[in-house]
A and B are shown apart, each in its own frame.
Chain A
Amino acid sequence: MSSTRYPCLVYKLPEDDSPSQVFSIPEGRSVLGRRNDSNLVLKDTSVSRVHSALVLQGDRLWIRAESSSNPTRVQGQPIQETELFHEDRIQLGRVKLQVFLYPEKTPKASPAGSRKTSKKAKPKRKAPATSSEKPKISVTVPRYKKSSTSYLMPLVVVSSILIGGGFLIFLNSQKEPSPPPDSKVITTLPKPTSPSKKLNGSSKGDKKNSPTSLAKAEPQQESKKDSLATNSKLSAESVADPELNSEVEIDQEGSKEGLPKVVERLGASSASEAYFEGHVVPFLSRFCTKCHGEEEQEGDIALDEFPDFKATLEDRELWELVATQLKKKKMPPENSSQPSGKEVQAIVGWVDAAVLGKKAGDSLDPGRVTIRRLNNTEYNNTIRDLVGLDLKPAKDFPADEIGYGFDNIGDILSIPPLLMEKYIATAEKIVEEVWKNKEAKDKIYFRQPKRKTDYRAAARAMLSKFARRAFRRPMTTSEYTNLYKLITLALKEEDDFELGIKLALQAILSSPHFLFRVEIDSKPDDPTEIHAISDYELASRLSYFLWSTMPDDELLDLAKKRQLGRRSTLRKQALRMLQDEKAQGMVESFASLWLGVRQLQNASPDFDSYPNFNDDLRLAMEKETQLFFTEIMKKDLSVLLFINSDFTFLNEKLANHYGIEGVTGDQFRKVQIDDGRRGGVLTQGTVLTITSNPTRTSPVKRGKWILEEILGSPPPPPPPGADSLDEEKVESGELTLRDSLKKHREDPKCATCHEKMDTLGLAFENFDGVGGWRRFEGNSLIDAQGTLPDGRSFKSVAELKDILLKNYSHDFCRCLVEKMLTFALGRGIEYSDMDEVERIARNLARNDYKFSELILQIVQSDLFLKRRGERRS
């Protein structure tokens, strides 16, 4: 029975409770790794897909590291390339292997044999105490013909029938040279210690999920090539194993304890690793690795390989992403098997505790926004309210960069020298403009001193009033002292007090305290130092959030009295602010960026394709979207109206464009609509135009827009090498856009994301590239029906909107909360904000989806009211 061919490697997989196994090293090159087409397949997450390569030439053997990140160790040392000698020990990830070049030194009978005989060969690992005697089963690997189509012909030896937990050995017969006909591999299998118990134990938790998971997974796989299908199916079974195995191990060690105790006994760090291997990895294998693993790494995420546990834990970004997707139920995709709520909780809990180091009772992390300079809109509005003249000086400033969809993000707003130059020059110009306008000047220069002894008092009165509003907090004494130096200078040079005041005003308008929205921490470098922001800081947060401008006197007065932070005051003020004219600031900032009005300003539909599109129509579209948002805000309507509504705002031009009759004149008015076409933002000209190409519609862009801006689940970017549409055929009329997209989806790489994107987008095909209604595309009647991946079908865009309202309102609310919160806080939404987002979204739903509730929930959230020191990077 022992016909092991030398040289060979003896190894054992840590997850496996089977004894050591033998790999006969073929002449030439062979690959060791986790990939199924490796010559030696090592199914362990710590091993890289292609980990190392062996080269055997005659009686000499070399090994080379093939993974740059995951070391190959020989005799404990990481190596690049080295010759191997008899009894050398190799370690790949957690898997230990030993080299045997000659038969005489190897354990007799079976090199793979029991612990007794091959202590050296056995990786250090507690083996089940009870399983000393094991039945030996030899498996002969038959030779197979080299396939011409695929060189991956994994030969799978399954012996799981024989043992309880079951394990798989994927052995791949080497391609070249082919193995000799007598090549055999001896595998010794353990006697199942307590198979029934194990099976029972494991089936408790898994019965519900595993079978469904397999059943659902199968159809997809069957569509693939046979060999692959077999392969995946098997791995699908094997993925459930590690979990079984880990339980098995605990059982075998004579313990019936639940995991926490095991964790305790193993000590903190290794305990986590054991937990990781025993619970997290199996979960990932069951639900994630099919698309984020060996075969595919969708979205560039792979969850099948964790060579270094410490590094694994340090990859916060990855785990936050995993937890986020699970929490939001974005993953696994809706057409595949779903983990139970409890299972998700367990993984999220692990991320929180092990990766993020959160403890129970930790208070909410309010995050930290980077100091924000006023963006151009805020600068314009602030100047308007500060000096009472709508000068719009920022129109000459360089454009603000955008991050996370908005232009008020602290991290992105920078001060390049060009901008600073403009700030300085503009400060001077603004003061000049004010002095030209008597009314404006009198408000600021209200105390003309009669004699020299009045100078100080007059300057103080005027400057402190101005600075309080410009700095959005009281001026300090030292600030005043410094500003007065400018007056002294003007007096000295030209004996001109008024000039001195003008200079001081220029200095205020150039000051960092005016240009930045400053929030001060007592301990800026201590991330654990969480504190409520000051009342003045809160006044600014409120006013720049709801108005995109400085706080008014009412807010500043409340801040002075330290009353603004009170819940009832806060509520009252927020509601007052929403009704104020200045709330238009939110429409121009938030709504215009969210709903694409700013993009529309740069859109350039092709004249030949859309001859009726011109700047008037563009402006009308913008206006519709802005008025629509304003209506929901001012009348405090349901935010679900963004998805569908029975009204919109039109003037004659836009109504004609939409094909709606009875609207005359340039004036916009609220119009009731019941044509089943318009209503909500999705069918407004703005959104339909910005999601089109200049010469045609783009269902993909439309679908993507809905996923990003309405459902909050942006698709990952296309994989490299993804083909674009066959547009020539679309343009020549040979294929409709729908058919062309369908063809495109035949590529499985594209299908997952495009199925949803295209279906959503195609529902809007009755709207042309500038939002006009049409029934034909070329000569074909447009077909706007579709079936979403969740199985729900619709016949028209109206039905799609109904589906969105009925089944995706929570996704929409969460998405809207995220966007609004991003805008309110001036920073990206992070993992630590997620629970709060969820809470606010639920409260919004509980309160009839009222717009005001969205705002009130946000301004009363700790995310808005507090901040903390910075985490050192």
Chain B
Amino acid sequence: MNSDNKLPRRTFLHGVGASLALPFLEAMIPHNELMGRAFGAPKTKNPRRVAFFYVPNGIHMKAWEPEKVGNLPSRLPELLRPLTKHRKDMLLLGGLTQDKARANGDGPGDHARAASAFLTGAQPYKTGGKDIRVGVSIDQYIAQKIGKKTPFASLELGTENGRQSGSCDSGYSCAYSNNVSWKTESLPMAKETDPRQLFERLFPSTQDGKKSEAELKYRRKILDLVLGDAKKLKGKLGATDSRKVDEYLEAVFDIEDRIARAEEEARQSGRKRRPPPGAKKLAKELPDSRPKEIGERIRLMGDLLVLAFQADLTRVATFMFANEGSNRSYRQIGVPDGHHDVSHHGKKQDKQEKIQKINAYHMQQFVYIVNKLASTREGSRRLLDNSMLVYGSGISDGNSHSHSGLPILMVGKGGGTLKTGKYRKYPKNTPLNNLFLSLADRMGAPCRELGDSRGPLKDLY
């Protein structure tokens, strides 16, 4: 495996315990939590899962924030109300900020930055194409640590392929507003947006699934061969070209890994992974192409996500309900206007109502997924108990493009590592990435630093 393109993972772990120059916040955290021992790696029997859900253009915050911190009230704010029966599984986090989504001298482009900084905590480099660069996102950080335990290191889901026009937002390439998941600082993880495609990827049709040993051998040999080609080619290229070929190499390594793991698993258990019971039924329901209605698209993808978690095909996922800055019209719920257009509500009530309607519609789809996770058993628990769902946006108020006081909602108990049923409000400018450190820790992928993090978030447990 070539090492030049690898993340400097070691640098994250380097000097653990040498807390000399730790910033203030970190020094406040109990030592064991910082080191990732508090919650340790989850047992393989009930592995923990993490999924990040992204909604664009901000949230109507007046219908989101409860009045008081502490225990969540029985009458939840309007937008959260559909989650009432999961109140005890919820953890609402207020006051978190994604500073790197702010201009910081780069001028306009808040939508592009909101999405690309959301899970990276890094300032995206302003470019329409050349030298695309932001940072590694938390899901990918975790996936690279624990991904080898499952057939898919991570899943990236979405509903929109992206705008088919030049720069999406004031000089930022569309790659920024279309992707929250970044494998390396320059490689966005393309999303699967077609439920049928995703299904076939997760549960290859019987013909594919029952590959003979010889067939697996052939495929491995082919991969070996093209890897050889790519390595040889890389040697002849300049630095930038060589990075592109690295993407190819890395991806082929991943596939090789997966084949090796499948073989190993088959050898050990004597049988192949079987799709969970719901899969067959779903296969029949899935349309041949993407359903037009976005809600249906989200729910189908959600079904598949739940299946993937259930079958332990992956433990890490991101799901963009729409791309950042999306101007989709939601006429099915009486909002024919473009989403982005109405998010610039200019404090006008009718527009705020419309934005709230869209927010509520997204929330309704999310609740569908939560319900599904809650009704799926895993051992003596619900699948939801072993999961951590993070739902939110990189923008709080769409009109002002604010990136502080972000709407961040967690659902799921993280295998009992989260104290749920609360609304916590953090001091101004607390980095959102602090939360991610805490989550990485709970996923058995301790992370000392990611993007602009300053240490794990307090009061989650």
Q: Please indicate whether A and B come from the same complex rather than being unrelated chains.
A: yes
How far apart are B231's CB and chain A's nearest CB, in angstroms?
A: 9
| A332 sits at the interface (CB 8 A) | no
Which one of A404, A414, A727, A873 contacts B187 once the chains associate, using CB atoms below 8 Å? A414
| B201 sits at the interface (CB 8 A) | yes
| A651 sits at the interface (CB 8 A) | no
| A401 sits at the interface (CB 8 A) | yes
Give Cα distance in the complex from A396 to B290, angstroms. 11
B337 touches A695 (CB 8 A): yes
> Chain B contacts of A513 at CB under 8 A?
229, 233
Give Cα distance in the complex from A404 to B338, angstroms. 24
| A199 sits at the interface (CB 8 A) | no
Q: Beyond the given A403-B128, A485-B225, could you list 19 further A-B residue pairs with CB under 8 A, ordered by the A residue number?
A: A399-B190, A401-B188, A403-B167, A413-B244, A414-B187, A414-B190, A414-B244, A419-B190, A482-B225, A482-B229, A486-B225, A510-B223, A511-B225, A513-B229, A516-B248, A599-B163, A601-B164, A693-B337, A870-B241
| B48 sits at the interface (CB 8 A) | no
A contact face: mostly helix, strand, loop, or mixed: loop
> Chain A contacts of B237 at CB under 8 A?
371, 520, 524
A396 touches B197 (CB 8 A): yes
How far apart are B103's CB and chain A's nearest CB, in angstroms?
A: 7
Q: Per-residue 0/1 for A390-406: is the Cβ within 8 Å of any B Cβ (1 yes, 0 no)? A: 00000010110111110
Q: Per-residue 0/1 for B175-195: is the Cβ within 8 Å of any A Cβ (1 yes, 0 no)? A: 100100001001111111110
How far apart are A230's CB and chain B's nearest CB, in angstroms?
A: 31
Task: Give the total number of A-B pairs whose CB atoms are below 8 A apart.
Answer: 231
How far apart are A325's CB and chain B's nearest CB, in angstroms?
A: 15
Give Cα distance in the complex from A746 to B228, angstroms. 64
| A503 sits at the interface (CB 8 A) | yes
**Given A399-B161, A414-B247, A524–B241 Cβ distance below 8 Å?**
yes
Question: Which residue of chain B lies nearest to A728 when distances are taken between CB atoms in the complex?
Answer: B348
| B282 sits at the interface (CB 8 A) | no
- 25 CB contacts below 8 A, A to B, read A370-B130, A370-B241, A371-B245, A398-B192, A399-B193, A402-B166, A403-B173, A405-B166, A405-B167, A416-B189, A417-B255, A418-B189, A418-B191, A420-B252, A486-B218, A493-B214, A510-B222, A511-B225, A512-B245, A598-B164, A604-B328, A693-B337, A694-B327, A720-B108, A727-B348
B contact face: mostly helix, strand, loop, or mixed: mixed
How far apart are A792's CB and chain B's nearest CB, in angstroms?
A: 28
| A489 sits at the interface (CB 8 A) | yes
How far apart are A535's CB and chain B's nearest CB, in angstroms?
A: 18
| A457-503 interface (Cβ within 8 A of B) | 479, 482-483, 485-486, 489-490, 493-494, 503
> Chain A contacts of B108 at CB under 8 A?
717-720
B329 touches A593 (CB 8 A): no
> Chain A contacts of B228 at CB under 8 A?
482
Q: Per-residue 0/1 for B208-250: is the Cβ within 8 Å of any A Cβ (1 yes, 0 no)? A: 1000001001110111011011100100111111001101101
How far apart are B420's CB and chain A's nearest CB, in angstroms?
A: 33
A507 touches B129 (CB 8 A): no
| A828 sits at the interface (CB 8 A) | yes
Question: Which residue of chain A lies nearest to B338 when distances are taken between CB atoms in the complex?
Answer: A694
A402, A425, A511, A828 — most chain B CB neighbours (10 Å): A402
> Chain B contacts of A872 at CB under 8 A?
239
| B278 sits at the interface (CB 8 A) | no
A606 touches B162 (CB 8 A): no
How far apart are A273's CB and chain B's nearest CB, in angstroms?
A: 26
Which one of A401, A421, A511 contacts B226 once the chains associate, using CB atoms below 8 Å? A511
Q: Per-residue 0/1 for B336-353: is the Cβ within 8 Å of any A Cβ (1 yes, 0 no)? A: 111001001010101000
Which one of B217, B251, B327 contacts A415 once the chains associate, using CB atoms below 8 Å? B251
How far apart are B75's CB and chain A's nearest CB, in angstroms?
A: 31
> Chain B contacts of A828 at CB under 8 A?
128-130
Give Cα distance in the complex from A726 to B347, angstroms. 11
A606 touches B336 (CB 8 A): yes
Question: Which residue of chain B lies nearest to A489 when distances are taken between CB atoms in the complex?
Answer: B221
Give Cα distance in the complex from A416 to B140, angstroms. 12
Q: Per-residue 0/1 for A853-870: is the Cβ within 8 Å of any B Cβ (1 yes, 0 no)? A: 000000000000000011
> Chain B contacts of A409 at CB under 8 A?
129
